[in-house]
Amino acid sequence: MKLFYKNITLIWIAFASSCCFGQFTSLKGKVTDNGEPLPLANILLKGTQVGTATDIDGVFELSGIPPGDYVMLVSSLGYRPYQTKISLEAGANKTMNIQLEATAQTLDETVVSGTLKPVSRLESPVPVEVYSPTFLKKNPTASVFDALQNVNGVRPQINCNVCNTGDIHINGLEGPYTLVLIDGMPIVSGLGTVYGLTGIPNSLIEQIEIVKGPASSLYGSEAVGGLINIITKNALNAPEFFADGFATGWGEYNLDVGSKISVSDKTSLLLGINYFNFDIPIDNNADNFTDLTLQDRISIFQKWDFEREDGRLFSLAGRFFYEDRWGGEMQWTPEYRGGDEIYGESIYTRRWEMLGKYQLPFKEKFLLSFSYNDHYQNSVYGDTEYLAEQRIGFAQLTWDKTVGNHDLLLGSAVRYNHYDDNTPATTVADNIWIPSVFAQDEYKFAPKHSFLAGLRYDYAQRHGNILTPRAAYKWKISDTDIFRANAGTGFRVVNLFTEDHAALTGSREVVIAEELKPERSVNVNINYLKKIYSDKGTFIGLDASAFYTHFSNVILPDYRTDPNQIIYDNLDGKSVSQGVSANLDIAFPSSFKVMIGATWQDVSSTENGVTRQQILTESITATWNLSYTFRPLNLTADYTGNLYGPMRLPILGDLDPRSEYSPTWSIQNIQFTYKGLNNFELYGGIKNLLDWTPNRGNPFIIARANDPFDKEVTFDSDGNAVATPSNPYALTFDPSYVYGPNQGIRGFFGVRYTVF
């Protein structure tokens, strides 16, 4: 099966590359951005059902139009809406060329994540960053998880050198405090965080919205540090068919295929399939361990959109995901799975999920949202087996009501979490019900001023009553200047299990030392947006923020106090994340575009009166994207990259010879995209131009890679490793010293084919 899918991917790339070489009136034309064709722009004759979208060359055509006078509307993500009056005469064939005015890609979109209702980003009282599929294409990756490396203030963190699983850090806060949503539904948490960002074809993504800072007053648990909302396309805006396949010099193969299917006059189906394969063990750093986890995964996504009376919303979506991944010693094969002869970490993941939205048939705006997912994981870490299942159900009813200058949102939600595994931390399945109610009011008390206040009440069986307030103030100084101030709280209810599965051995009693309090955060954020339009057509957009987050009531398991117990308690400590962040977008009439972002942050943890920089948290971050289109050649060049400042690393003791702090390091990429062929795009380039890997300047990355089962380690009476001639640094096997990918320089080539 693995070979079959790989061959399909190669055949697709080769095939696509070889293929590249009386009574009514009609309306046709072309939509451009400074002369560059603009695909997927929406064309509509106001007050009618006549409409279409431009193809990959920016061309559109409407036929069978009754003669008359119309208002033509043209819109596209990241551009100012355009409208004009047109007169169509019988038998005439009218041609129009339309030039749209670009805005900053992340300033004028409609967003929903900040207030749980559609609103222009410029009008939202909560700062929301928006990223489109165009942004994702500038550095093509096999998953959204990897693509977020080019978002300022957001970092995909790899947590293990062997299995390469990870999470998302926002403004330096740990991954469990970032909530990942699909179409606004919190179906991704705990075990499924990474998998929620994997396997969704980029061509099915309408946009990605990111809120930095607590959002628990709307989304509940897990939205402590921020949230990432992946919004999929409506079938009406999707291409009829698309395929996108690429391969890299390391032997990675990725294929996205999708189609829009009209089931009936009022029902449309959007289908997408993603397949990724990498099965070549590579050990460039010569530690006898794979540098990159081998993976074989498939994801099938479909979304149903139903047309209803009065334009009411009804959509259903579902996804199935399966992955087989392993990393370990180069000699490992599946026959060694779970044994202590050759070390390997092997993870089988099976996951399915469904979600939907249904607007109730009332005059008032009542929206019912629901989701459910089932996640099963079968893993071994060396000779330690970890079997786990997680189920999450969610339902929410909201009422959107405007009364005078008050924009109200009232709602109620219920969330069900089920978790069970085979570790001593979970002697019985953990089941949690969390009902909640919330209210929000945005009051426009002056023409340029508005104030938002919100409050959420949750009841958790383990923690009791939880209140999370929020407040936001927006001052629209002008149409090009906006000031925002936000303050809010977040919370996370604890599940009594740990993801440090390899550390669990023997039978332990679970002890709750006291009544556990929910983990909490308090955040203050000040944001300023500025847009500048020059007389010569240059656009400049500035988005700057200052933030402060205080995190308390951290709950961690204690394995050391008593070797026969796991003790859960709220630590007497805190974590603080503070800093400033800025994004600068510049678009020149010459088609040269610049996107630059930078963040300085100070993230520290205080415990027992001692304050230290938080482990695996960088001090500075920078991201950039320089893009230029050579119009006569139909060729676009994209230079993307990121830079991360020093971060404290998890060394194992005073004798550990590895650096306690990382250097300042950078991953840089270049890509060329050719659009001179009908319906086709060819792209290729080089990733990691500097060939940077984290083993530079370190004697090794994985501790005791030569003895992964600690068979030659001597321990004292307290269970601590002691220095011996064969173990001079007193180390045990540990793959957690990881702050960047081990994957070096590599080329890539891909083909996209789209039919609109």
Angle at 107 (CA atoms; ends 597, 469), nearest 5 degrees: 90
Between 473 and 75, residue with greater pLDDT = 473
The helix (run of H) or strand (run of E) holding residue 636 is: strand 635-644
Q: Are 548 and 524 in contact (CB under 8 A)?
A: yes
Query: Over pLDDT 90: what percentage of the chain?
Result: 45
Question: Residue 109's pLDDT is what?
Answer: 63
Q: What values do phi and psi take at 663, rounded to 5?
A: -75, 175
Average pLDDT over residues 677-692: 95
Judged by DSSP in three states, 216 sits in helix
560 has a pLDDT exceeding 60? no
Listed by start position, the domains of the chain span: 22-99, 110-231, 232-702+737-755
* pLDDT above 80: residue 561: no
Label residue 87 exposed, middle or buried (CB < 10 Å: 0-12, 13-18, 19+): exposed
CA distances from 90 to 26, 61, 70, 511 (A): 9, 16, 14, 82
pLDDT band at 304 (very low <50, low <70, confident <90, very high): very high
d(CA 330, CA 289): 6
Does residue 498 carry a pLDDT above 50?
Answer: no
Task: Give helix then strand counts, H and E, for the chain.
Answer: 4, 43
Instruction: Write the pLDDT tens digit of every residue in 37-89.
Output: 887 788 888 777 788 888 878 889 888 888 888 888 888 766 767 888 888 88
Q: Where are the beta strands (DSSP E) in 215-363?
A: 226-232, 241-248, 253-264, 267-278, 294-306, 314-328, 344-359
456 contacts 217 by C-beta, under 8 angstroms: yes
Q: Per mean pLDDT, which of 168-172, 225-229, 567-571, 701-705 is the most reliable?
A: 701-705
Q: Give the span between the Cα atoms of 23 and 492, in whole angstroms.
A: 64
Helix (H, G, I), strand (E, B) or coil at 218: helix
CA 521 – CA 603 distance, rounded (Å):
14
Q: What is the CATH number of domain 232-702+737-755?
A: 2.40.170.20
Pairwise pLDDT comparison (704 vs 33), residue with the higher score: 704
pLDDT digits (tens, 9 = 90+) for 125-158: 988 898 888 888 999 998 888 888 899 999 888 8
Of residues 413 and 44, more confidently modeled: 413
State yes or no: pLDDT of 421 exceeds 90: no
Instruction: With beta carbons less than 8 A apart as the criterion, state whether 589 and 566 touch.
Output: no
CA 586, 581, 111, 204 dihedral sign is: positive
HSE of 603 in the Cβ direction (CA atoms, 13 Å)?
25
Helices (H), 598-711: none
- Specify the DSSP element, H or E, that contains 368: strand 365-381
Give the DSSP per-residue string, 38-71: -TT-EEEETTSS-EEE--TTSEEEEEEEPSEEEE
Confidence band, pLDDT 50/70/90 cuts, at residue 16: low
Question: What whole-number distance in Å separates Cα of residue 422 and Cα of residue 428?
Answer: 9
Phi, psi of 238 (to 5 degrees): -90, 155
CATH homologous superfamily of domain 110-231?
TonB-dependent receptor, plug domain (2.170.130.10)
Q: How open is the CA angle 418-421-422, to the nearest 5 degrees?
A: 155
Residue 348, pLDDT above cutoff 90: yes
Residue-wise DSSP of 483-524: EEEEEEEEEEPPPS--S-GGG--S--EEEE-S-PPPEEEEEE
Q: In what order do the strands lie in the sheet with 185-188?
A: 129-131, 205-212, 226-232, 178-182, 185-188
Which whole-number Å values give the CA distances from 135 to 138, 147, 204, 207, 733, in the listed order? 6, 9, 14, 9, 40
Q: Does 103 have pLDDT greater than 90?
A: no
Are 525 and 599 a contacting pair, CB within 8 Å?
Answer: no
Backbone angles phi, psi at 581, to 5 degrees: -145, 145
Average pLDDT, the chain: 86
Question: What is the third-level CATH fold of 22-99?
Answer: Immunoglobulin-like (2.60.40)
Which range has the top average pLDDT, 6-10, 45-49, 503-507, 691-695?
691-695
Which of 166-180, 529-543, 581-595 ranks highest by mean pLDDT? 581-595
Q: Tokens 């004697």 sit at which residue?
A: 699
Which pLDDT value is given to residue 500?
46
Alpha helices in 239-308, H assignment, sequence order: none
Q: In the structure encoding, which two tokens stand for residue 690, read together?
A: 């500097």
pTM of the predicted structure, to 2 decimals: 0.84
Q: Averaged over 181-198, what is the pLDDT?
A: 70
Indicate the pLDDT class of residue 476, thresholds 50, 70 and 90. very high
Given this model, what pLDDT does residue 499 score?
Answer: 43
Which stretch of 220-234, 250-264, 719-733 has the lowest confidence by average pLDDT? 220-234
What are the tens digits of pLDDT across the range 668-677? Answer: 999 999 998 9
Give the mean model confidence (pLDDT) for residues 555-581: 73
CA distance 751 to 27: 31
- Are residues 261 and 301 in contact, defined by beta-carbon separation less than 8 angstroms? no
Residues 619-661: pLDDT tens digits? 999 999 999 999 889 999 999 999 998 998 888 888 999 999 9
